[in-house]
Amino acid sequence: MANTTIMIEDIDELPPYYPAIHGCRSVEEFHCMNRVEEGTYGVVYRAKDKRTGETVALKRLKMEKEKEGFPITSLREISSLLKVKHENIVTVREIVVGSNMDKIYLVMDFVEHDLKSLMETMKKPFLLGEVKTLMLQLLRAVAHLHDNWILHRDLKTSNLLLSHKGILKIGDFGLAREYGSPLKEYTSIVVTLWYRAPELLLQAPQYSYPIDNWSVGCIFGEFVTMRPLFQGKSEIDQLNIMFKELGTPNEKIWPGYSELPLVKKITFAEFPYNSLHNRIGHKLGKSGFDLINRFLTYCPERRISADEALRHEFFTESPLPVDPAMFPTWPAKSEGGQHRKAPSPKAPSGGKQFQRNQLDVDEDRLMPNTKSSTSSSASQNQSGFHMNVPSSKKGFNIRF
């Protein structure tokens, strides 16, 4: 972005552009106004198209780690976004290139807010009718993704965009991928920690669209409380916080739970009761609390789908969802200036991270059960688990 200070007044001076002849346009045809955000898989800028004067979002794909070829994560992101056209999913207009092939940009519609940054600056929380409107838009987009056999694998409030017209859009498809039937074994190191489903944390070898629906449940709670529901510092801490809030799972409520890889290695403390109602039940009412509980169901097969959730009674009772056009407007931090976000975990790096700790429990996070029974019991009371030393370790091939 070295020449981003070029002004845009002389639109007529640009030569005619014919896509079939010229291929991808140059990024020099855009004037960069400011940097909006940097994620695991790219940096986003606010820019103006010199030909049309339109404001767009430019996402530069991260290529520096690639020794040869095009990053698979970027290919999946482009493929997914081109496949799933939807009002509530960001639109890719075109791909432009810089001075060399390690500078590749996606040109997308510009959306003023990301919901995480917005909620950090709001003086009052969303009204329940506004929460319903946001949830309906999110659920329509997620249902559309799953209908097209695509997993997002990183749904969180910072990846949800909100326009000044009250339209929500899902963005950042850097971890997205297509899936099919029969299911294959994919890396479990996906989804930002605070929104990661229990089957991923417990290293289930196979997973499907319910992982996105767990994230939707976490987002639902965040819309209501204005802060993330489960803020763990590590995978084990995340599980322990979830178990304290929702109760520790067992075979009765989650068939196959005892066979999950991490459950065989660790004995978790028993928390028998779901205490989430004490925290948010009064804010949601009976039907709203039923819906969030169905999203935060441990067993993936019993977890509500996005399509089912759209028909839930929560959305038809008073207060009704508000019209998106009636949403209040807020100053957009993305349109200039720097905004310091509250600290939150970064998106995982997927397959490469999985290879570093494939089915092994990180010694920095776990305490082996090698001490006396007294000290072991004390450590369990403090951290909520103790480690079962396995007799053997079994590995298998994982696809990212």
CA angle 33, 70, 72 (to 5 degrees): 100
Q: Which of 154, 290, 360, 362 is catalytic?
A: 154
Residue 185, both tokens: 């074994």
Catalytic residue check, 154: yes
DSSP code string of 266-322: EEEP---S--HIIIIIHHHHHHHHHHHHHHT-SSGGGSPPHHHHHT-GGGTSSSPPP
Cis peptide before 210 (omega within 30 of 0): no
- Under DSSP, the state recorded for 132 is H
Question: CA–CA separation, 350 vs 354, rounded Å?
Answer: 6
Contacts of 143 (CB under 8 A, 6+ apart): 305, 306, 307, 310
Structure tokens at 399: 């696809």
CA distance 112 to 60: 18
Spatial distance between the Cα atoms of 57 and 106, rounded to a whole number of angstroms: 8
Say which residue the tokens 């957009």 belong to: 332
Query: What's the CA gap between 222 and 246, in Å, rounded?
Result: 16
Measured CA to CA in angstroms, residue 337 lies from 12, 158, 333, 334, 340 at distances of 30, 18, 7, 8, 10
At residue 141, the 3 state secondary structure works out as: helix
Phi-psi region of 347 (alpha: psi -120 to 50; beta: other; left: phi over 0): beta
Q: Which residues form the catalytic set?
A: 154
